[in-house]
Amino acid sequence: GAGVSQSPSNKVTEKGKDVELRCDPISGHTALYWYRQSLGQGLEFLIYFQGNSAPDKSGLPSDRFSAERTGGSVSTLTIQRTQQEDSAVYLCASNAQVRTGADTQYFGPGTRLTVL
């Protein structure tokens, strides 16, 4: 079946502009996660959703970052007034959380954001 998809695959923007990044999780997956990966670095947790609510927003770097999820499916990560340090690959992942414990997270291909 279809995996996690993200759009756009690449985004180049000017400093100070707002950007929206989209994630389509695997159908039926209740949990959705956003991560940021700077060049050659690890995976930095940003936020996760259980259904449409976000129990943990602790990873959002500043109030310029926000995310929402509607209909328990698509999620949008918005970065306002972008800065050069926001340049990174933004990865989305989803899982089914069938078990009471953790389940496999499936990653999307990412959106490469470049802020000039």
Partner 1 sequence: GENVEQHPSTLSVQEGDSAVIKCTYSDSASNYFPWYKQELGKRPQLIIDIRSNVGEKKDQRIAVTLNKTAKHFSLHITETQPEDSAVYFCAAAFQGAQKLVFGQGTRLTINP
Residues that bind partner 1 (CB under 8 A): 31, 33, 35, 41-43, 45, 48, 50, 55-56, 91, 99-102, 104-110
> For the purposes of burial, counting CB atoms within 10 Å of the CB of 7, is it exposed (0-12), middle (13-18) or buried (19 or more)?
middle
Look at residue 50 and give its three-state secondary structure.
strand
Q: Which is nearer to partner 1, 59 or 80 (CB)?
A: 59
Which structure tokens are listed for 94?
């989803």
- Min. distance of Cβ 102 from partner 1 in angstroms? 4
H helices of 14-72, where?
none
Closest separation between CB of residue 69 and partner 1, Å? 15
Cβ closest to partner 1, residue 73 vs residue 105: 105
